[in-house]
Every structure is written in structure tokens, then in C-alpha cells.
Structure 1
């Protein structure tokens, strides 16, 4: 699971203009704190789909539905990804 968290952090950092590092982000960090705008948010969703070979439900395609880093982790975990 730790590998999943680190991959998600990396994806978020790549799409954020906040200048945060992985050490600055934890599971409770909000999308607002990260500095994601709507385009960056969609880029994160697309990269998560590609990285984990999942399809994110349309219910999660708004920033209000994914308020924290934990929310991104839950999306991946709820898609029953094989983490091995």
C-alpha cells in the first residue's frame, strides 16, 4: 500500500504548481492545500487511471468529490488493484 501512496503523491506533485514535495503531503492534505486547479485535477485522475490500470467512476470527476490525498488513495483501493 505504501507504494500506492508514493505513486499517488508523485502524480499529484507533477500536476501541482505549489512547489510541495512528497514530504509536505500526507493523506489528509487537501486538494486546495496542494494547489491543484481543475485542469491539474483532471490530469491527476487520468494519470491515476493509467498508472494503476483502472477506470475512475464519473462520480469522482469533480474536485468536491475528492477533497484529500486520502480520497485519491481510496479510489485506487476501491478498484481492487493488485498491489503486489
Structure 2
């Protein structure tokens, strides 16, 4: 399963915009397109940490505004853990 599919499952409980979620792509903006508020964004980050077994610092969390940026942070953290 790809990271984007995992993200879709993680985000599902936090957005009411199911159409945008179904059409999720790397260009999807979590706040604007999926109407996720900053409190829910923190919940998503915690769920991502749990799902992937990574720790996301504040600087990385602040980058996680689009799907593409979120995937990049996840991949970076996974690579750090693998090293």
C-alpha cells in the first residue's frame, strides 16, 4: 500500500469533504482542500507517527500542509530511522 493511501485512511475521520478526499493527490492542500483545522492537523500528525513508527518534530510538522509535503516528511523520517 502506498503512503498516499495510508494518508487517506488517516485523514478520513478529520475531514467532512469526502469528495476532495476521494480525489486526493500530491497537490491536495490539507487545510484548504480538505478543510482540516490546525487542531485536527496535530491529530493527523500523531496518527502518522503511530502508523509509520516515526517522530515528527515541530519544524517538519509545519511543512505538512499538502499531501506532497507530508509524504516527503514521512519518507525523510523513515529514511532517518532506516539509517
Smaller-chain TM-score bracket: 0.7 to 0.9
Provide runs of 4+ in structure 1 moved above 6 Å.
none
Aligned to 2:71: 73
> Pairwise CA RMSD of aligned residues?
1.9
Aligned residue for 2:2, secondary structure, equals helix
Structure 2 gap segments, 5+ residues each: none
More helix by share: 2
Calculate the TM-score normalised by the size of structure 1: 0.79
Calculate the TM-score normalised by the size of structure 2: 0.80
**Number of residue equivalences:** 79
Structure 1 gap segments, 5+ residues each: none
Does residue 39 in structure 1 map to residue 39 in structure 2? yes
Shift of 1:22: 4.5
Q: Is this contact kept in 1: 2:21–2:34, CA < 8 A?
A: no
Aligned to 1:17: 16
Q: Is this contact kept in 1: 2:20–2:34, CA < 8 A?
A: no
Structure with more contact order per residue of length (Cα contacts < 8 Å, sep ≥ 6): 1
